[in-house]
Chains A and B, each alone.
Chain A
Amino acid sequence: MTSSPQSPNGRSATEAASSRAYRSETYRDARAEYERIRALREVSPIAAHLRERRFELGLTQAEVAKAAGTSHSAVSRLEKGTHIPQLPTLQRIAAVLDEELLVCFQRTVDGEVERELMAVA
């Protein structure tokens, strides 16, 4: 969108983002990664969350795997959304990412949804 200098609506967010992408390779790569994460969210919200978190903390899959005591391939498959590991492994991965894994139980009673959220261990 173009607007006169006196106009109170400035440049569009899309235009500004394109300009930033043109000037910064790191920014451009990050936008591409967030696009992949968004697509992954449709397949596996857990995989998307863990991949996003790892990316933002600046960790590699190998680093997460080593710290969580699991294999690189397990983390890789987890982030592809093709395999969800067992709860203890997931719990350790969450801890490496500075998070805590909780489990939610849900039931419907008389048409009302009830949820209980609890720690795994």
Chain B
Amino acid sequence: MAARRGRTQAVFYRDRRGQEPVDDFLEELLKAQPLAAAKIDDAIEEHLNGRDPRDPPPEFPATSQIAGELRELRVRFARTRYRVLYQRSRNLIVLLHIFEKNTGSVSASDRQKAEKRMADFQARMDERPRRRPRAAGRDAPPKSRDYHA
């Protein structure tokens, strides 16, 4: 399905080495438990994609707040519970971290991992865009001072 302009779009966070941890997790799950991978993808599609970014987040129990703008998508498959930690950045829903949840609340280490990735995401998005390399040799434009020499 093509993304609708102005609507939310879920994307995987990519680290500096090019790894996408949530997608990597889902790829591993596809091998072991394809039905669970399908359910998680279905929940992402249903609850996170194609929404008006100005709308309030999907209600509990589909999602819930973790801390500040960090939220979790809650997915139960048979007897296993999965949590996808995400945060919205404009119309992007950045999928930061995923894990099986076996305890009552999201652990501090899981929360910190997601927060660290979001901070990295924002820092890299805020970096100035790379400039195209300057033409060299005969294609190089004349230096401005040459005009006044």
Q: Spell out A's residues near B (CB within 8 Å).
A: 1, 3, 5-14, 16-17, 20, 23-24, 26-27, 30-31, 34-35, 38, 55-57, 98
Contact = CB atoms under 8 A, between A and B. Distances in A.
Given A13-B48, A57-B78, A31 B41 contact: yes
Contacts, number: 99
Contacts of A24: 30, 34
A7 B92 CA distance: 13
10 shortest interchain CB distances as A-B pairs: A30-B38, A10-B14, A10-B12, A13-B10, A10-B20, A56-B78, A17-B41, A34-B42, A8-B124, A26-B34
Nearest to B20: A10
B63 to A, nearest CB: 15
Given A11-B20, A13-B49, A16-B23, A30 B34 contact: yes
Contacts of A11: 11-12, 20, 23
A5 B3 contact: no
B22 to A, nearest CB: 9
A23 B1 CA distance: 17
B45 interface: yes
Interface residues of B, number: 38
Interface in B38-56: 38-39, 41-42, 44-46, 48-49
Contacts of B11: 1, 3, 9-13
Contact of B38 (A7, A23, A34): A34
A9 B96 CA distance: 10
A77 B25 CA distance: 37
B14 A9 contact: yes
A20 B30 contact: yes
Contacts of A34: 38-39, 42
B26 interface: yes
B62 interface: no
A10 B17 CA distance: 12
